Chains A and B, each alone.
Chain A
Amino acid sequence: MSSSGLFDVAVLGGGMVGSAIGFGCAERGARVVVLDEGDVALRAARGNFGLVWSQSKGDGMPAYAAWTRQSVALWPALAERASALAGRDVQYRAVGGLTFCLDEAEFAARQLFVQRMHNQGQEGLQMLDRAQLQALMPGCPLGPEVRGASYQPADGHVDPLTLLRGLQAGMRAAGGVHLPGAAVQAVEPIAGGYRVTREDGSQVEAQRIVVAAGVKTTPLARMIGLDVPVRPVRGQNIVTERLAPILPLPASAIRQTGDGTVQIGVTSEDDGSFATATTTAALATMAARALRVLPVLAQARMVRGWAALRPMTPDGFPAYAESTTHPGCFVATCHSGVTLAAVHAGPLAEAVLAGVLPEHARDLHPDRFVGMTHVSSH
């Protein structure tokens, strides 16, 4: 079975990255199909922490830092459109973001980091001591151990699930086709484009291909002649029952969502396993740290925990490329799908249609991984 002729773009992956690119291409008038797996795919998009975040991004990789800042700048416009498309507020709030420091040593280390980021061109990022933090969030019952925090006024947070819904709804509204339910098995060149075959036997043809397959990127990128090593790094999350307002600003491992729940993150487990079960030991450690920030949460009930797999490249930074062996085929992978959603739906989608990657994305070519072993998680 072959589905409705030649598409302009086939996006392989319906997670946060694929949905943003698919939406962006469809919005620009392209005939788009997004191919996706089934209901329980290994979707980082569903485990995302929901930060729109620049303060810790791109240390040692200026292109990533700049790409992130570009996205943060485009976010307000994306949020407005995504809310309209989702039929519900995506709850984007650029209220500033914090990284809490719970003792002198953490504070000193964070201070050095802030200095380093400043030297690499990040503006606005600063350290706040406890008194400044309290002045920023009057009435917030911070625990006695909170020494201070780094603070980036441009940072914020969003409901990532409503964002995903908005992106997919937008893609459809612009005439795009969403085909969930089967993994991709093969990509082969045909006259004027490529044919994609899925495990259910269905086939789709398109002029251009974008591999945006998260932790499944490596085998799919190979089908279009690109070597993109990606491994899964597990992150566990906790969500509480809905609570009265208690934490006005999002922080790197704790935020209160627009619905009132408090989300607590997030581990970084780099054991090579694709398992997505939560572990009590990790959840307990996360809860204990959250209680050092906000001791009053001790009585709050955790209603849900989950684990998701981040797609991690050897240096932890995103990777973008157009294939030289398969012209018109692209790969895009990162674990900052929410923060980068605005550039993925904007400049990157435009570039896919034009056939030339934008400046910052070009600098994030996976060629840099050649000979590199897995080194760090950013």
Chain B
Amino acid sequence: MSVADEWTAEGAAKPPVAETTDVLVLGAGPAGMAAATEARAHGMRVLVLDENGAPGGQVHRAVEARLAKGAVEKRDAKDDQDKDGAKLAAAFRASGANYRPNATLWAVEPEGKVFWSEGGAARSIQAERLILCAGATERPLPIPGWTLPGVMSVGAAQIALKTGGLVPEGAVWLAGQGPLLWLYAVQALAKGGKIAGIIDLSPPGGLQRARPHLLRALKAPEYLWRGLVWQRQVKRTVRVIPARELRAEGEGRLARILVDGVAHPADLLLLHDGVVPNTQVTRAIAGLTHGWDPVQRCWRPGLDLWGNTAVPGVMVAGDSAGIGGARAAALSGRIAALEAARALGRITTDERDGRAGPLRLLRDRQLAPRLFLDAMFPPLPEAAIPDETILCRCEEVTAGRVRQAVALGCLGANQTKAFTRAGMGPCQGRICGPSVHGVIAAARGVEGGEVDPFRTRFPTKPLTLGELAALAG
């Protein structure tokens, strides 16, 4: 794609990247697309950086390509996710935002100076306002043997389905818990895929835990209804085995799984334990505070009603602020953009409040089922992870080594990292972060909120020394 193509509205006459921008949006998922579109509607210059090659984020991944093939229309009405995504993407494309796909942000410095890499070169810009919409990542589900080739995440399989039309076939097992697991099963079966079985690891008593939140959840009954329909649909053709212990085995490659000690042949195992906010970038920004969510056991940036963080000019919207789903994310993106427009003098406070009011009501409705779902699917307990299990896949550090470090006096993830190398590899703790943190908390017998998480630092994505050195004055 040429630079000119990326300038969707303002034409090729301008330089591809200016020195400054009014608003920089990180991520072109639902929150980022909506934020950029709204910000453009108020005349602000908007730069959007996204690591993927096309808009959509994870939930609407490759939605335009599927739309072009007519695949979206062919689906039945329940899958209105694609319709939402197509609408957001079309508005975003038409908004005139300077959209940079395949662009990886790796540093945010004071005064809104942002660095990213694109096409093998590092670049920078000064932004008045940042709206960070980094989305969610799957919570890791470390089990013995999960590093064997043939073990992947459910999210990965869904990406393979959405981008490559790959469906499961053969001895394919899904394991873990959470809505995405059931959604993927539905999507895979609908496209003719075959699943050998689902290992349901969800802690028992989910409905009892969730019941107090039922009334509120029924404000948006379609979520619960859909969940029930998915499970019923899947269970019609797929065996579901409730279990507590799972391990993967094989020589150089997955060959079988052990479900509570019972062996089943397996050539693909897909793991899932819900999703957590992606805070890799926000945690690296000095002064940006985060709070602990004790139910979903994850960190979220501390935000005001508009999405402002503790650092002036830096905002967060969408799932990276707390899991709320695609529709809530898009609404948050718009609300954040309205606040940015007010902050930059494009609209008055009254105008902002007037426009944001109805969006808030819609968002409240979308968020209504969250407490129910969160209580239904609490993350699997880290205390139960066997010592032999690798937590840090990059540096091959086991849960046992992390527990040893705690016994040596490590109180948090950072000293543990120093003592074990957990989190020191190229993924920078993205994958192991939640489980290392959880294992430390469990070993110390304290709440996760009392345990410092990995301190992330810029660059938050690996970049070549050549790219970095090219920035030297």
Contacts and interface: CB of A to CB of B under 8 A. Distances in A.
Consider the complex of A and B and state whether they touch directly, i.e. have CB atoms less than 8 Å apart: yes
Interface of A: 14, 36, 38-40, 46, 161, 164-165, 168-169, 172, 178, 180-181, 238-241, 259, 264, 275, 277-281, 283-285, 287-288, 290-291, 297-307
B464 A39 contact: no
A180 B458 CA distance: 27
Interface stretch (B12-20, B339-347, B414-422): B414-422
Contacts of B410: 39, 180
Tell me the interface secondary structure of chain B in the complex. loop
Given A161-B418, A291-B466, A298-B469, A305 B458 contact: yes
Contacts of A297: 465
A84 to B, nearest CB: 15
27 contacts: A38-B412, A39-B412, A39-B452, A46-B415, A164-B418, A165-B408, A165-B418, A165-B419, A168-B409, A169-B408, A238-B468, A240-B465, A277-B457, A278-B457, A280-B107, A283-B459, A284-B468, A287-B469, A291-B466, A297-B465, A298-B465, A298-B469, A299-B464, A303-B424, A303-B462, A304-B457, A305-B457
B371 interface: no
A168 B408 contact: yes
Contact of A281 (B411, B418, B473): B473
Interface string B340-366: 000000000000000000000000000
A171 to B, nearest CB: 10
B365 to A, nearest CB: 39
A299 B466 contact: yes
A313 B470 CA distance: 35
Contacts of A165: 405, 408, 418-419
A14 B418 CA distance: 13
B213 to A, nearest CB: 34
B229 to A, nearest CB: 44
A280 B412 contact: no
Contacts of A302: 459, 462-465, 468
Given A165-B419, A172-B408, A241-B426, A301 B463 contact: yes
B83 interface: no
Interface in B428-464: 428, 451-452, 455, 457-459, 462-464
Nearest to B452: A39
Nearest to A45: B418
A165 B124 CA distance: 39
B472 interface: yes
A39 B436 CA distance: 14
A99 B214 CA distance: 68
Contact of B469 (A169, A275, A284): A284
A288 B472 contact: yes
Closest 7 CB pairs of A and B: A39-B412, A298-B466, A288-B472, A288-B469, A284-B471, A301-B462, A39-B452
B163 to A, nearest CB: 25
A303 B425 contact: yes
